[in-house]
A and B are shown apart, each in its own frame.
Chain A
Amino acid sequence: GAGVSQSPSNKVTEKGKDVELRCDPISGHTALYWYRQSLGQGLEFLIYFQGNSAPDKSGLPSDRFSAERTGGSVSTLTIQRTQQEDSAVYLCASSLGLGLYGYTFGSGTRLTVV
């Protein structure tokens, strides 16, 4: 597609429920990243995927967070048993490859846990 597409744009969920966030990267971009941005804060790295390699999960804050990327394209970030501190904007980005390429970000999913 023309840009990185994320859905839903907003999600309100009750504490303890599971949520799935979706990211559709730019066609041809082999690298896909997830970041979290709390209100007024910076960008916290969560996970990245590059081609068919094993993902780098080093940024995931707890085992309640997981992500997968199917067919080297669409990715889903799953948060199990959501907590109030999970409330944030979850940003997905894609790039032509690792390292020397700028990211194109999606508009994000604003997650609110009540």
Chain B
Amino acid sequence: KQEVTQIPAALSVPEGENLVLNCSFTDSAIYNLQWFRQDPGKGLTSLLLIQSSQREQTSGRLNASLDKSSGRSTLYIAASQPGDSATYLCAVASYNTDKLIFGTGTRLQVFP
């Protein structure tokens, strides 16, 4: 049974810092891994999608890596800004099923 864990659960940093959020999963047989952002009271915004055959994806100040064999993904946020404050969720789609298994998220606060 696939399980997804995110560390840390919460993070508070000053503006400008580079951050690393961690996601680990127990079953390496995955289709893909998605990183989402959720603002309070809002829906999920997809940030990056990494297919199982890929090692990383980049979008602006965000970079996500995937090491399928070790069951790990990291989301790197460069030069953090207060507007990056949100909860970040990772989710994996296991092989032969389309459903996403979510981690509990990392709550990020970036202060000026």
A, B co-complexed: no
User: Which residues of B does A touch, CB under 8 Å?
Assistant: none
User: Which residues of A does B touch, CB under 8 Å?
Assistant: none
